[in-house]
Structure 1
Amino acid sequence: MDGKPLNVSNGAELAGKSGLVRCREEDTGHLQREQELRNGKFIGQERMFDREGRLLRERTVNERGNSHGRVAEFWPNGQVRREETADNGRTQGAVRRFDATGRGERVSFHGEGQELFHVEYNSKGQPTRLLCPRSSVLPEDRKLCGFNGATDTELYAESGARSAQLRYDQGRLLSATEWSSDGVVSAQQLVVDGRRVHKSFYTEGGKSVLREERVFTPDDRTLRDTRGQLFSARRYGASGQPIEQRGFADGREVQVERWYLNGSLRERSTVSGSGKDARQLREMYRDDGKLARREQLNADQWRVGTQQAFHENGRLATEEQYSTPDARGRTRLTARKQWDESGKLIADDTILEDGSRQRKAAGTDS
Structure 2
Amino acid sequence: MNSWGAGILMACMLGLGPVAGLARAAAPPPPPQICDIDGTAVQPANPASTAGKSGVLRCKDPASGRLLRESTYDSGQELGLARSFHPDGRLKRAAYRTEPGGERAVAEFSTRGQLTFLRCADKPMLQPVVEDRRLCGFDKAASTVELFDDKGVLRSRLVYLHGRRLRAESLYDNGKVAAQEELAGNQRVERQFSSAGIKRRESVWLLQERGRTVRQRVLEYSERGALLREQRWDASGEPLRDDSYFASNGQPKSKQNFSGSGDRRVADVVEFHENGQRAAQGRFLAPARAPLLPVGTHCRFNEQGTMVAELNYDDKGRLIQERSWDDSGRLLREEPAPGDAASKLPSQ
What SS is found at the alignment partner of 2:263? helix
Q: Counterpart in 2 of 1:304?
A: 295
Is the counterpart of residue 210 in structure 1 residue 199 in structure 2?
yes
Query: Matches of 1:67 and 1:59 in 2, distance apart?
Result: 13
Amino acid paired to 2:197: S
Alignment of 1:134 with 2:127, yes or no, is no
The answer to whether the 8 Å contact 1:59/1:70 transfers is no
How does 1:4-15 map onto structure 2 within 5 Å?
A: none
Q: 1:191 is matched with which residue?
A: 183
User: 1:68 offset after TM fit, Å?
Assistant: 3.0
Q: TM-score w.r.t. structure 1 length?
A: 0.74
CA drift of 1:276 comes to 0.9
2:41 paired residue among 47, 65, 81:
47
Give the drift of 1:236.
Answer: 0.8
Pairing partner for 1:321 from 309, 312, 315: 312
Matching residue within 141, 144, 155 for 2:135: 144
Q: Is the 8 A contact 1:57 1:72 kept in 2?
A: no
> Could you tell me which residue of structure 2 aligns to residue 256 of structure 1?
242
Matched, 1:97 2:88: no
TM superposition shift of 1:344: 3.2
Question: Which residue is equivalent to 1:86?
Answer: 73
> What residue ranges of structure 1 are gaps of 5+ in the alignment?
1-32, 37-43, 49-55, 326-330
How many aligned residue pairs are there? 302
Instruction: Summarize the alignment of residues 228-267 of structure 1 with structure 2, pairs less than 5 Å apart.
Output: 228-249=213-234, 250-262=236-248, 263-267=250-254
SS class of match (2:174): coil
* Identical amino acids, percent of aligned pairs: 25
Q: Post-superposition shift, 1:294?
A: 1.8
| Cα distance change of structure 1 residues 289 and 87 upon mapping to structure 2, 3 Å threshold | farther
Partner of 2:8: none
Match for 1:209: what amino acid? Answer: I
Structure 2 CA distance for aligned equivalents of residues 138 and 220 of structure 1? 29
User: Against the structure 1 CA distance between its residues 144 and 35, is the aligned structure 2 distance closer, same or farther, given a 3 Å change threshold?
Assistant: closer
Structure 2 Cα separation of the partners of residues 335 and 136 of structure 1: 71
Give, in angstroms, the shift of residue 66 of structure 1.
Answer: 3.6
Q: Equivalent residues in 2 for 1:14-33 (5 A)? A: none
**Higher normalized helix content (fraction of residues):** 2
Letter of the 2:277 counterpart: K
| SS of the residue 1:282 aligns to | strand
Please name the residue that 1:181 is paired with.
173
Structure 1 residues 58 and 132, CA, compared in 2 at 3 Å: closer, same or farther? closer
Query: For residue 336 of structure 1, what is the aligned residue in structure 2?
Result: 322
Other-structure match for 1:6: none
Larger-Rg structure: 1
1:295 equivalent in structure 2? 282
CA shift at 1:92, angstroms? 1.7
Deviations 1:177-221 (A, max 9, x none): 221222111111123353111111121xxx311111010113368
Work out the CA distance in 1 between the residues paired with 2:106 and 2:194: 29
Question: Residue type matched to 2:168 in 1?
Answer: A
Q: How far 1:274 sits from its partner (Å)?
A: 2.2
Does the 8 Å CA contact 2:256/2:268 hold for their aligned counterparts?
Answer: yes
Pairing of 1:263-278 with structure 2 (within 5 A): 263-278=250-265
Query: Within the alignment, does 1:285 sit opposite 2:272 as a pair?
Result: yes
After superposition, residues 47-126 of structure 1 pair within 5 angstroms as: 47=41, 65-76=51-62, 77-111=64-98, 112-126=100-114
Report if the CA contact (8 A) 2:242-2:255 is conserved.
Answer: yes
Q: Is the 8 A contact 1:265 1:285 kept in 2?
A: yes
Q: 1:221 to 1:202 in 2, by over 3 A?
A: farther
- 5+ long unaligned stretches in structure 2: 1-33
Q: Judging changes above 3 Å, is the alpha-carbon distance between structure 1 residues 58 and 308 closer, same or farther for their aligned structure 2 residues? A: closer
> For residues 68-103 of structure 1, what are the alpha-carbon distances to aligned partners after superposition, in whole Å with 9 as ceiling and x for unaligned?
332222112111212222333333221211011210
Q: Secondary structure at the match of 1:208?
A: coil
Tell me the distance in 2 between the aligned counterparts of 1:317 and 1:91.
Answer: 75
Which stretch shows the higher mean deviation, 128-137 or 192-201? 192-201
- Relative contact order (C-alpha < 8 Å, sep 6+): which is higher? 2
